[in-house]
Structure 1
């Protein structure tokens, strides 16, 4: 038996994906607000943290490595890396293995701002998930019921 249009809409509005989307949207908006104080976006923090992690593990970090590790599209990674380099968060230089490729590392400015961003994100995440705001608790509870 085929569901009616109204039943399909109702099912969609009460689906796990909609509950997850509502919770994610709330979390993302709050995160964005927190990082705005540092003039950074969440994807930029993700790239900075990934570059730093890879630099601790490998002698040379490339854009392709960052895209793969951060699980983001290579073109998106390229745009973010270019912007961060322009704003002195990252240093790009010819690679030792392949001089045509660019190696990447954080500048001191990038390290300082990454540390601030990670502290902000850590504090925010702790507060967000412990928040007693009834609207947020309802979003979390609705999602938990669906999974």
Structure 2
């Protein structure tokens, strides 16, 4: 009958499902997998920008951002809604991602904004002098 689509599970698991399901042996609390957070990174002369896809979350309650030394960590929780459904491809549970910040990151000035399902984290940067290079001559030993 035209106009009716029947969903059939793929024969092979989706590559993104496999990659984002977490590493075997590293479960989240209570054995649930930790899903990855998809990000975009941009480095400008004065800031490091990280954009993360986090649709459908209450950022004040469900999202946590921490900076430890030079690592920025994002963690989010999406609780599963209890309703009858035939099929879902939504992800529920814990989502996490950590990135190493560039040299000169001013971690005490990190800002975050959330709009239209995208979390944007801005980390101001201090200009870092490029290290000088010293050439060392190699001589043959006698």
TM-score using structure 1 length: 0.28
* Structure with larger RCO (C-alpha < 8 A, sep 6+): 1
Which is richer in helix? 1
Which is richer in strand? 2
Pick the structure with greater CA Rg: 2
TM-score using structure 2 length: 0.28
